[in-house]
Amino acid sequence: MKKQKKPVILEGVLVEDYAAEGKSLARVDGKVIFIENAVPGDIVDLQILKSKKDWAEGRPLKFIKYSADRVTPFCSHFGVCGGCQWQMLPYEKQLFYKQKQVVDNMTRIAKVPLPAISPVIGADTTREYRNKLEFTFANKRFIPTDEFRKIREQRMLSPEMPETPEPAGFAGFHAKGVFDKVVAIDTCHLQEEPTNLIRKAIAQFGIDNQLSFHDIKLHKGWLRNVIIRIATTGEVMVNIVLGHEDKEMQDRLLGSIMQQFPQITTLLYTINTKFNDTIYDLQPKIYHGKGYIVEKLEEFMFKISPKSFFQTNSRQAEKLYSVAREYAELNGTQTVYDLYCGTGSIGIFVSKEAKKIIGVELVADAIADAKENAALNNISHASFFTGDVVDICNDDFFAAHGRPDVIITDPPRAGMHEKLVKKLLEMAAPLIVYVSCNPATQARDMALLDEKYVVTKIQPVDMFPHTLHIENVVQLKLRTSE
Protein backbone atom coordinates (compact mmCIF):
# COMPACT_ATOMS: atom_id res chain seq x y z
CA MET A 1 0.00 0.00 0.00
CA LYS A 2 1.27 3.45 -0.94
CA LYS A 3 2.19 5.50 2.10
CA GLN A 4 0.17 8.67 2.39
CA LYS A 5 2.22 11.86 2.43
CA LYS A 6 2.16 13.91 5.59
CA PRO A 7 0.37 17.23 4.97
CA VAL A 8 2.64 20.28 4.67
CA ILE A 9 1.73 22.92 7.28
CA LEU A 10 3.19 26.44 7.25
CA GLU A 11 2.76 28.39 10.48
CA GLY A 12 2.29 32.12 11.06
CA VAL A 13 2.04 33.13 7.39
CA LEU A 14 1.13 36.77 6.61
CA VAL A 15 -1.48 37.13 3.85
CA GLU A 16 -0.11 39.99 1.76
CA ASP A 17 -2.42 40.78 -1.14
CA TYR A 18 -5.34 39.76 -3.33
CA ALA A 19 -4.79 37.74 -6.50
CA ALA A 20 -7.18 36.78 -9.31
CA GLU A 21 -10.62 35.22 -8.80
CA GLY A 22 -10.88 36.44 -5.20
CA LYS A 23 -7.95 34.42 -3.87
CA SER A 24 -5.41 36.03 -1.57
CA LEU A 25 -1.69 35.45 -1.76
CA ALA A 26 1.32 35.09 0.51
CA ARG A 27 5.01 34.65 -0.21
CA VAL A 28 7.08 32.05 1.61
CA ASP A 29 10.77 31.50 0.67
CA GLY A 30 10.19 33.17 -2.69
CA LYS A 31 7.19 31.01 -3.59
CA VAL A 32 3.77 32.57 -4.15
CA ILE A 33 0.95 30.77 -2.31
CA PHE A 34 -2.65 31.34 -3.37
CA ILE A 35 -5.13 31.13 -0.49
CA GLU A 36 -8.92 30.95 -0.40
CA ASN A 37 -11.07 32.49 2.37
CA ALA A 38 -8.42 34.86 3.69
CA VAL A 39 -7.97 38.64 3.69
CA PRO A 40 -4.76 40.64 3.23
CA GLY A 41 -3.46 41.34 6.73
CA ASP A 42 -4.57 37.98 8.18
CA ILE A 43 -1.86 35.84 9.82
CA VAL A 44 -2.66 32.15 9.36
CA ASP A 45 -1.42 28.60 9.68
CA LEU A 46 -1.66 27.14 6.17
CA GLN A 47 -2.08 23.64 4.81
CA ILE A 48 -0.54 23.27 1.35
CA LEU A 49 -2.96 21.56 -1.04
CA LYS A 50 -0.95 21.78 -4.26
CA SER A 51 2.69 22.69 -4.78
CA LYS A 52 4.53 23.57 -8.01
CA LYS A 53 7.99 24.99 -8.61
CA ASP A 54 7.05 28.69 -8.39
CA TRP A 55 3.63 28.64 -6.76
CA ALA A 56 1.35 26.69 -4.45
CA GLU A 57 -2.25 26.59 -3.25
CA GLY A 58 -3.25 26.42 0.39
CA ARG A 59 -6.10 26.81 2.83
CA PRO A 60 -6.14 28.40 6.28
CA LEU A 61 -6.15 25.84 9.10
CA LYS A 62 -6.08 28.42 11.85
CA PHE A 63 -6.25 32.21 12.05
CA ILE A 64 -3.52 33.48 14.38
CA LYS A 65 -4.56 37.10 13.88
CA TYR A 66 -7.34 38.66 11.81
CA SER A 67 -6.68 41.56 9.44
CA ALA A 68 -7.55 45.02 10.75
CA ASP A 69 -9.51 45.49 7.51
CA ARG A 70 -12.06 42.80 8.38
CA VAL A 71 -15.69 43.66 9.15
CA THR A 72 -18.49 41.39 10.36
CA PRO A 73 -20.45 39.91 7.40
CA PHE A 74 -24.12 40.95 7.44
CA CYS A 75 -25.40 37.61 6.10
CA SER A 76 -25.63 34.50 8.29
CA HIS A 77 -24.90 32.31 5.23
CA PHE A 78 -21.68 34.09 4.24
CA GLY A 79 -18.83 31.66 3.68
CA VAL A 80 -21.16 28.74 2.97
CA CYS A 81 -23.43 29.66 0.07
CA GLY A 82 -20.73 31.22 -2.14
CA GLY A 83 -23.00 33.94 -3.59
CA CYS A 84 -20.85 36.66 -1.98
CA GLN A 85 -17.10 36.36 -1.51
CA TRP A 86 -16.15 39.71 0.06
CA GLN A 87 -18.67 40.56 2.78
CA MET A 88 -15.84 40.46 5.33
CA LEU A 89 -14.30 43.54 3.67
CA PRO A 90 -15.67 47.10 3.96
CA TYR A 91 -17.02 48.29 0.60
CA GLU A 92 -14.24 50.88 0.17
CA LYS A 93 -11.66 48.08 0.43
CA GLN A 94 -13.61 45.95 -2.06
CA LEU A 95 -13.42 48.83 -4.54
CA PHE A 96 -9.68 49.24 -3.83
CA TYR A 97 -8.99 45.60 -4.73
CA LYS A 98 -11.30 45.68 -7.76
CA GLN A 99 -9.42 48.74 -9.06
CA LYS A 100 -6.17 46.89 -8.45
CA GLN A 101 -7.50 43.86 -10.34
CA VAL A 102 -8.21 46.03 -13.40
CA VAL A 103 -4.82 47.77 -13.21
CA ASP A 104 -2.99 44.42 -12.83
CA ASN A 105 -4.83 42.83 -15.77
CA MET A 106 -4.37 45.83 -18.04
CA THR A 107 -0.65 46.14 -17.34
CA ARG A 108 0.32 42.48 -16.94
CA ILE A 109 -1.76 40.90 -19.73
CA ALA A 110 -2.45 43.64 -22.29
CA LYS A 111 1.12 44.99 -22.25
CA VAL A 112 0.14 47.94 -24.43
CA PRO A 113 0.51 51.69 -23.76
CA LEU A 114 -2.28 52.74 -21.39
CA PRO A 115 -3.86 56.01 -20.29
CA ALA A 116 -4.48 56.68 -16.59
CA ILE A 117 -7.15 54.25 -15.38
CA SER A 118 -10.12 56.14 -13.90
CA PRO A 119 -11.20 55.34 -10.32
CA VAL A 120 -13.82 52.59 -10.16
CA ILE A 121 -17.44 53.76 -10.13
CA GLY A 122 -18.97 52.19 -7.03
CA ALA A 123 -22.58 51.32 -6.27
CA ASP A 124 -24.79 53.63 -4.20
CA THR A 125 -26.74 50.56 -3.04
CA THR A 126 -24.67 47.58 -1.91
CA ARG A 127 -27.51 45.34 -0.68
CA GLU A 128 -30.72 44.23 -2.39
CA TYR A 129 -29.30 45.42 -5.71
CA ARG A 130 -30.06 42.42 -7.93
CA ASN A 131 -33.12 42.42 -10.19
CA LYS A 132 -33.02 38.64 -10.60
CA LEU A 133 -32.41 35.65 -8.30
CA GLU A 134 -32.90 31.94 -8.86
CA PHE A 135 -33.41 29.51 -5.98
CA THR A 136 -33.33 25.70 -6.08
CA PHE A 137 -35.83 23.55 -4.17
CA ALA A 138 -34.19 20.45 -2.73
CA ASN A 139 -34.55 17.57 -0.31
CA LYS A 140 -30.86 17.31 0.61
CA ARG A 141 -29.23 20.07 2.61
CA PHE A 142 -25.57 20.93 2.34
CA ILE A 143 -24.00 20.70 5.81
CA PRO A 144 -21.02 23.05 6.26
CA THR A 145 -17.78 21.47 7.56
CA ASP A 146 -17.96 23.08 11.02
CA GLU A 147 -21.55 21.96 11.55
CA PHE A 148 -20.71 18.46 10.29
CA ARG A 149 -17.81 18.21 12.77
CA LYS A 150 -20.09 19.21 15.66
CA ILE A 151 -22.68 16.59 14.67
CA ARG A 152 -19.98 13.92 14.43
CA GLU A 153 -18.54 14.85 17.84
CA GLN A 154 -21.99 14.74 19.43
CA ARG A 155 -22.58 11.30 17.90
CA MET A 156 -19.29 10.01 19.32
CA LEU A 157 -20.11 11.39 22.78
CA SER A 158 -23.76 10.29 22.74
CA PRO A 159 -24.29 7.38 20.30
CA GLU A 160 -27.87 6.92 21.53
CA MET A 161 -28.80 10.52 20.63
CA PRO A 162 -31.56 10.49 17.97
CA GLU A 163 -30.67 11.95 14.58
CA THR A 164 -31.97 15.41 13.79
CA PRO A 165 -34.47 14.91 10.96
CA GLU A 166 -33.74 16.67 7.70
CA PRO A 167 -36.41 19.16 6.60
CA ALA A 168 -38.96 17.73 4.14
CA GLY A 169 -37.83 20.35 1.68
CA PHE A 170 -36.42 23.87 1.39
CA ALA A 171 -35.07 26.36 -1.13
CA GLY A 172 -31.64 27.87 -1.46
CA PHE A 173 -28.51 28.07 -3.60
CA HIS A 174 -26.33 25.28 -4.94
CA ALA A 175 -23.38 24.66 -2.63
CA LYS A 176 -20.07 25.64 -4.15
CA GLY A 177 -18.38 22.60 -5.71
CA VAL A 178 -21.12 20.14 -4.62
CA PHE A 179 -23.56 19.43 -7.44
CA ASP A 180 -26.20 17.47 -5.53
CA LYS A 181 -26.55 19.53 -2.35
CA VAL A 182 -28.20 22.89 -1.73
CA VAL A 183 -27.52 25.47 0.98
CA ALA A 184 -30.76 26.15 2.85
CA ILE A 185 -31.20 29.95 2.80
CA ASP A 186 -33.16 31.83 5.43
CA THR A 187 -32.65 35.42 4.24
CA CYS A 188 -30.75 36.46 1.12
CA HIS A 189 -29.80 40.15 1.12
CA LEU A 190 -29.11 40.40 -2.61
CA GLN A 191 -32.69 41.17 -3.72
CA GLU A 192 -35.41 43.18 -2.05
CA GLU A 193 -38.58 41.67 -0.62
CA PRO A 194 -40.92 39.98 -1.31
CA THR A 195 -38.22 37.62 -2.69
CA ASN A 196 -37.49 35.71 0.54
CA LEU A 197 -41.17 35.68 1.51
CA ILE A 198 -42.22 34.22 -1.86
CA ARG A 199 -39.53 31.52 -1.75
CA LYS A 200 -40.51 30.49 1.78
CA ALA A 201 -44.24 30.49 0.92
CA ILE A 202 -43.68 28.10 -2.00
CA ALA A 203 -41.57 25.79 0.19
CA GLN A 204 -44.19 25.89 2.96
CA PHE A 205 -46.95 25.03 0.49
CA GLY A 206 -44.87 22.02 -0.59
CA ILE A 207 -44.37 20.88 3.02
CA ASP A 208 -48.02 21.43 3.99
CA ASN A 209 -49.21 19.41 0.99
CA GLN A 210 -46.52 16.71 1.30
CA LEU A 211 -45.17 17.49 -2.16
CA SER A 212 -41.83 16.12 -3.33
CA PHE A 213 -38.85 18.46 -3.49
CA HIS A 214 -36.25 17.94 -6.18
CA ASP A 215 -33.54 15.33 -5.62
CA ILE A 216 -30.74 16.46 -7.89
CA LYS A 217 -28.90 13.13 -7.83
CA LEU A 218 -31.94 10.91 -8.43
CA HIS A 219 -33.63 13.43 -10.76
CA LYS A 220 -36.94 13.16 -8.92
CA GLY A 221 -39.26 15.62 -7.21
CA TRP A 222 -41.93 18.11 -8.26
CA LEU A 223 -40.70 21.48 -6.90
CA ARG A 224 -37.49 22.38 -8.74
CA ASN A 225 -36.71 26.10 -8.96
CA VAL A 226 -38.13 29.58 -8.64
CA ILE A 227 -36.84 32.59 -10.58
CA ILE A 228 -37.81 36.01 -9.24
CA ARG A 229 -37.29 39.29 -11.08
CA ILE A 230 -38.05 42.69 -9.58
CA ALA A 231 -37.72 45.79 -11.76
CA THR A 232 -37.06 49.32 -10.52
CA THR A 233 -40.53 50.12 -11.93
CA GLY A 234 -41.97 47.94 -9.13
CA GLU A 235 -43.09 45.14 -11.45
CA VAL A 236 -42.48 41.61 -10.11
CA MET A 237 -42.17 38.41 -12.16
CA VAL A 238 -42.16 34.95 -10.57
CA ASN A 239 -41.51 31.79 -12.60
CA ILE A 240 -41.97 28.51 -10.67
CA VAL A 241 -40.24 25.54 -12.31
CA LEU A 242 -41.87 22.13 -11.76
CA GLY A 243 -40.64 18.60 -12.49
CA HIS A 244 -43.80 17.44 -14.28
CA GLU A 245 -47.34 18.51 -15.15
CA ASP A 246 -49.93 18.27 -12.37
CA LYS A 247 -52.75 20.60 -13.34
CA GLU A 248 -54.73 20.43 -10.12
CA MET A 249 -51.77 20.89 -7.79
CA GLN A 250 -50.06 23.59 -9.85
CA ASP A 251 -53.30 25.59 -9.97
CA ARG A 252 -53.57 25.30 -6.18
CA LEU A 253 -49.93 26.34 -5.72
CA LEU A 254 -50.12 29.27 -8.14
CA GLY A 255 -53.46 30.40 -6.72
CA SER A 256 -52.07 30.32 -3.18
CA ILE A 257 -48.98 32.36 -4.12
CA MET A 258 -51.06 34.89 -6.05
CA GLN A 259 -53.41 35.28 -3.10
CA GLN A 260 -50.54 35.84 -0.65
CA PHE A 261 -48.61 38.18 -2.94
CA PRO A 262 -50.98 40.32 -5.01
CA GLN A 263 -48.02 42.60 -5.88
CA ILE A 264 -46.79 39.93 -8.35
CA THR A 265 -47.51 41.42 -11.78
CA THR A 266 -46.59 38.29 -13.76
CA LEU A 267 -46.77 34.73 -12.43
CA LEU A 268 -45.60 31.86 -14.64
CA TYR A 269 -44.78 28.19 -14.37
CA THR A 270 -42.40 26.08 -16.44
CA ILE A 271 -42.35 22.28 -16.72
CA ASN A 272 -38.80 20.96 -16.77
CA THR A 273 -38.28 17.20 -17.10
CA LYS A 274 -34.59 17.57 -18.08
CA PHE A 275 -31.53 16.78 -15.97
CA ASN A 276 -30.29 20.38 -16.09
CA ASP A 277 -31.96 23.53 -14.73
CA THR A 278 -31.74 25.75 -17.82
CA ILE A 279 -35.09 26.97 -19.12
CA TYR A 280 -33.89 28.52 -22.40
CA ASP A 281 -35.16 25.58 -24.46
CA LEU A 282 -38.46 25.42 -22.51
CA GLN A 283 -41.68 27.42 -22.77
CA PRO A 284 -42.88 29.20 -19.60
CA LYS A 285 -46.67 29.37 -19.33
CA ILE A 286 -48.55 32.40 -18.00
CA TYR A 287 -50.83 31.94 -14.99
CA HIS A 288 -51.34 35.63 -14.24
CA GLY A 289 -50.33 38.90 -15.90
CA LYS A 290 -48.84 39.89 -19.25
CA GLY A 291 -45.94 37.39 -19.25
CA TYR A 292 -43.15 39.95 -18.88
CA ILE A 293 -42.07 42.94 -16.80
CA VAL A 294 -40.82 46.34 -17.92
CA GLU A 295 -37.55 47.80 -16.63
CA LYS A 296 -36.51 51.41 -17.06
CA LEU A 297 -33.02 52.86 -17.56
CA GLU A 298 -33.12 56.66 -17.78
CA GLU A 299 -36.16 57.26 -20.01
CA PHE A 300 -35.74 54.00 -21.94
CA MET A 301 -38.12 51.09 -21.32
CA PHE A 302 -37.07 47.45 -21.68
CA LYS A 303 -39.37 44.46 -21.87
CA ILE A 304 -37.95 41.54 -19.89
CA SER A 305 -39.51 38.17 -20.65
CA PRO A 306 -38.83 35.01 -18.55
CA LYS A 307 -35.88 33.94 -20.71
CA SER A 308 -34.43 37.40 -21.43
CA PHE A 309 -30.91 38.30 -20.47
CA PHE A 310 -30.69 41.71 -18.80
CA GLN A 311 -27.99 43.33 -16.70
CA THR A 312 -28.62 42.02 -13.18
CA ASN A 313 -28.04 45.36 -11.41
CA SER A 314 -30.35 47.90 -13.07
CA ARG A 315 -29.08 50.97 -11.18
CA GLN A 316 -25.45 50.23 -11.99
CA ALA A 317 -26.38 49.31 -15.57
CA GLU A 318 -27.39 52.97 -16.04
CA LYS A 319 -23.90 54.03 -14.93
CA LEU A 320 -22.18 51.39 -17.09
CA TYR A 321 -24.17 52.33 -20.20
CA SER A 322 -23.62 56.04 -19.55
CA VAL A 323 -19.86 55.43 -19.63
CA ALA A 324 -20.23 53.44 -22.89
CA ARG A 325 -22.29 56.28 -24.40
CA GLU A 326 -19.76 58.91 -23.32
CA TYR A 327 -16.86 56.83 -24.71
CA ALA A 328 -18.69 56.40 -28.06
CA GLU A 329 -18.36 60.19 -28.65
CA LEU A 330 -21.55 60.32 -30.70
CA ASN A 331 -22.79 63.46 -32.45
CA GLY A 332 -25.77 62.18 -34.46
CA THR A 333 -23.84 61.34 -37.63
CA GLN A 334 -22.41 57.91 -36.79
CA THR A 335 -23.47 54.37 -37.61
CA VAL A 336 -23.02 52.30 -34.45
CA TYR A 337 -22.55 48.51 -34.52
CA ASP A 338 -23.66 46.90 -31.24
CA LEU A 339 -22.00 43.46 -31.11
CA TYR A 340 -23.20 40.79 -28.67
CA CYS A 341 -26.18 43.12 -28.44
CA GLY A 342 -28.42 40.74 -26.45
CA THR A 343 -31.83 42.37 -26.04
CA GLY A 344 -30.50 45.61 -27.52
CA SER A 345 -30.07 47.48 -24.24
CA ILE A 346 -26.76 49.28 -24.95
CA GLY A 347 -27.68 50.14 -28.55
CA ILE A 348 -31.04 51.55 -27.48
CA PHE A 349 -29.43 53.46 -24.59
CA VAL A 350 -27.03 55.28 -26.97
CA SER A 351 -29.51 55.55 -29.86
CA LYS A 352 -30.56 59.21 -29.40
CA GLU A 353 -27.07 60.38 -30.31
CA ALA A 354 -26.51 57.98 -33.25
CA LYS A 355 -27.59 58.13 -36.87
CA LYS A 356 -28.12 54.36 -37.05
CA ILE A 357 -27.84 51.34 -34.71
CA ILE A 358 -26.99 47.88 -36.08
CA GLY A 359 -27.23 45.12 -33.47
CA VAL A 360 -25.83 41.61 -33.97
CA GLU A 361 -26.43 38.66 -31.62
CA LEU A 362 -26.30 34.85 -31.92
CA VAL A 363 -29.42 34.17 -29.82
CA ALA A 364 -32.60 34.52 -31.89
CA ASP A 365 -34.88 35.05 -28.84
CA ALA A 366 -32.70 37.95 -27.71
CA ILE A 367 -32.95 39.59 -31.14
CA ALA A 368 -36.75 39.25 -31.02
CA ASP A 369 -36.67 41.06 -27.64
CA ALA A 370 -34.32 43.71 -29.05
CA LYS A 371 -36.75 44.47 -31.88
CA GLU A 372 -39.62 44.73 -29.40
CA ASN A 373 -37.57 47.02 -27.16
CA ALA A 374 -36.75 49.31 -30.09
CA ALA A 375 -40.48 49.50 -30.93
CA LEU A 376 -41.35 50.11 -27.25
CA ASN A 377 -39.07 53.16 -27.29
CA ASN A 378 -40.20 54.37 -30.74
CA ILE A 379 -36.71 53.93 -32.14
CA SER A 380 -36.97 53.49 -35.91
CA HIS A 381 -33.27 53.82 -36.77
CA ALA A 382 -32.18 50.57 -35.04
CA SER A 383 -31.98 47.19 -36.80
CA PHE A 384 -31.12 43.87 -35.18
CA PHE A 385 -29.77 40.71 -36.82
CA THR A 386 -29.36 37.11 -35.65
CA GLY A 387 -26.05 35.45 -36.38
CA ASP A 388 -22.31 35.36 -35.77
CA VAL A 389 -20.59 38.71 -36.34
CA VAL A 390 -17.73 36.92 -38.13
CA ASP A 391 -20.19 35.55 -40.72
CA ILE A 392 -22.62 38.49 -40.96
CA CYS A 393 -20.23 41.43 -41.23
CA ASN A 394 -19.10 41.09 -44.83
CA ASP A 395 -18.96 43.51 -47.78
CA ASP A 396 -22.61 42.84 -48.76
CA PHE A 397 -23.76 43.60 -45.20
CA PHE A 398 -21.74 46.84 -45.15
CA ALA A 399 -23.15 47.81 -48.55
CA ALA A 400 -26.68 47.32 -47.21
CA HIS A 401 -26.27 48.90 -43.76
CA GLY A 402 -23.15 51.04 -43.89
CA ARG A 403 -19.70 50.56 -42.44
CA PRO A 404 -19.41 51.16 -38.69
CA ASP A 405 -18.14 54.49 -37.38
CA VAL A 406 -18.33 53.17 -33.81
CA ILE A 407 -18.31 49.57 -32.60
CA ILE A 408 -19.61 48.70 -29.14
CA THR A 409 -18.77 45.16 -28.09
CA ASP A 410 -19.96 43.48 -24.88
CA PRO A 411 -18.83 39.82 -25.04
CA PRO A 412 -19.32 37.07 -22.42
CA ARG A 413 -16.65 36.28 -19.80
CA ALA A 414 -14.56 34.32 -22.31
CA GLY A 415 -14.01 37.54 -24.28
CA MET A 416 -14.05 37.84 -28.05
CA HIS A 417 -13.18 34.94 -30.34
CA GLU A 418 -9.88 35.53 -32.10
CA LYS A 419 -11.74 35.45 -35.44
CA LEU A 420 -13.91 38.33 -34.26
CA VAL A 421 -10.84 40.34 -33.20
CA LYS A 422 -9.42 39.80 -36.70
CA LYS A 423 -12.78 40.87 -38.15
CA LEU A 424 -12.70 44.08 -36.08
CA LEU A 425 -9.21 44.80 -37.37
CA GLU A 426 -10.55 44.30 -40.92
CA MET A 427 -13.57 46.53 -40.28
CA ALA A 428 -11.25 49.27 -38.98
CA ALA A 429 -13.96 51.41 -37.37
CA PRO A 430 -12.53 54.72 -36.12
CA LEU A 431 -13.62 53.97 -32.53
CA ILE A 432 -14.32 50.86 -30.43
CA VAL A 433 -15.99 50.78 -27.01
CA TYR A 434 -15.22 47.46 -25.32
CA VAL A 435 -17.48 46.63 -22.35
CA SER A 436 -16.28 43.61 -20.38
CA CYS A 437 -17.26 41.55 -17.34
CA ASN A 438 -13.78 39.98 -17.29
CA PRO A 439 -10.83 42.41 -17.48
CA ALA A 440 -8.39 39.50 -17.97
CA THR A 441 -9.88 38.36 -21.30
CA GLN A 442 -10.50 42.01 -22.24
CA ALA A 443 -6.78 42.71 -21.73
CA ARG A 444 -5.90 39.70 -23.90
CA ASP A 445 -8.11 41.07 -26.70
CA MET A 446 -6.64 44.58 -26.30
CA ALA A 447 -3.19 43.11 -26.98
CA LEU A 448 -4.51 41.70 -30.27
CA LEU A 449 -6.27 44.95 -31.22
CA ASP A 450 -3.01 46.85 -30.59
CA GLU A 451 -2.08 46.09 -34.20
CA LYS A 452 -4.35 48.97 -35.29
CA TYR A 453 -5.81 50.55 -32.15
CA VAL A 454 -4.55 52.66 -29.27
CA VAL A 455 -6.23 52.54 -25.85
CA THR A 456 -7.46 56.02 -24.95
CA LYS A 457 -9.73 55.62 -21.88
CA ILE A 458 -10.41 53.00 -19.18
CA GLN A 459 -13.25 53.04 -16.64
CA PRO A 460 -14.02 50.21 -14.17
CA VAL A 461 -17.63 49.97 -12.91
CA ASP A 462 -18.69 47.82 -9.94
CA MET A 463 -21.89 45.96 -10.80
CA PHE A 464 -21.74 43.35 -8.01
CA PRO A 465 -20.86 44.56 -4.49
CA HIS A 466 -19.53 41.87 -2.10
CA THR A 467 -18.34 39.71 -5.01
CA LEU A 468 -14.99 39.53 -6.78
CA HIS A 469 -16.50 40.59 -10.14
CA ILE A 470 -15.78 43.92 -11.83
CA GLU A 471 -16.92 45.37 -15.18
CA ASN A 472 -14.56 47.49 -17.24
CA VAL A 473 -15.11 49.84 -20.18
CA VAL A 474 -12.27 50.62 -22.57
CA GLN A 475 -12.20 53.14 -25.42
CA LEU A 476 -9.91 52.34 -28.35
CA LYS A 477 -9.20 54.60 -31.32
CA LEU A 478 -7.83 53.68 -34.73
CA ARG A 479 -4.17 54.62 -35.06
CA THR A 480 -3.59 57.52 -37.42
CA SER A 481 -0.94 57.05 -40.08
CA GLU A 482 2.25 58.72 -39.01
Q: Are 57 and 33 in contact (CB under 8 A)?
A: yes
Q: pLDDT class for 354, splitting at 50, 70, 90? A: very high
Q: Give CA–CA dist 263/450, Å, rounded.
A: 52
Q: pLDDT class for 394, splitting at 50, 70, 90? A: confident
Q: Is the pLDDT of residue 115 over 70?
A: yes
Q: Is the pLDDT of residue 150 over 80?
A: no
- Indicate the average pLDDT of the chain: 90
At residue 145, the pLDDT reads 54
Q: What is the torsion angle, in degrees rounded to the nearest 10, for the CA atoms of residue 265, residue 269, residue 275 and residue 278?
A: -30
Residue type present at position 395: D
Per-residue pLDDT tens digits for 190-226: 999 999 999 999 999 999 999 999 998 889 999 999 9
Active site residue 437: yes
pTM above 0.85, yes or no: yes
Q: pLDDT class for 269, splitting at 50, 70, 90? A: very high
Q: pLDDT class for 63, splitting at 50, 70, 90? A: very high
Instruction: For residue 301, count CB atoms less than 10 angstroms from its CB and return exposed for 0-12, middle for 13-18, buried for 19 or more.
Output: middle
Q: Are 435 and 456 in contact (CB under 8 A)?
A: no
Higher pLDDT pick, 176 / 311: 311
Q: Domains plus CATH for the chain?
A: 9-70 (2.40.50.140), 93-126+313-478 (3.40.50.150), 132-297 (2.40.50.1070)
Residue type present at position 464: F
At residue 151, the pLDDT reads 43
At residue 481, the pLDDT reads 60
Least confident of 64-73, 170-179, 367-376, 418-427: 170-179
Q: Are 222 and 200 in contact (CB under 8 A)?
A: no
Q: What is the 3-state secondary structure (H, E, C) of the chain?
A: CCCCCCCCEEEEEECCEECHHHCEEEEECCEEEEECCCCCCCEEEEEEEEECCCEEEEEEEEEEECCCCCCCCCCCCCCCCCCCCCCCCCHHHHHHHHHHHHHHHHHHHHCCCCCCCCCCECCCCCCCCCCEEEEEEECCECCCHHHHHHHHHHHHHCCCCCCCCCCCCEEEEECCCCCCCEEECCCCCCCCCCHHHHHHHHHHHHHHCCCCECECCCCECCEEEEEEEECCCCCEEEEEEECCCCHHHHHHHHHHHHHHCCCCCEEEEEECCCCCCCCCCCCCEEEECCCCEEEEECCEEEEECCCCCCCCCHHHHHHHHHHHHHHHCCCCCCEEEEECCCCCHHHHHHHHHCCEEEEEECCHHHHHHHHHHHHHCCCCCEEEEECCHHHHCCHHHHHHHCCCCEEEECCCCCCCCHHHHHHHHHHCCCEEEEEECCHHHHHHHHHHHCCCEEEEEEEEECCCCCCCCCEEEEEEEECCCC
Residue 143 phi/psi, 5-degree rounding, is -105, 115
Q: Is the pLDDT of residue 137 over 90?
A: yes
Q: Give CA–CA dist 306/285, Å, rounded.
A: 10
Catalytic residue among 84, 341, 393, 437: 437
Q: Is the pLDDT of residue 460 over 80?
A: yes
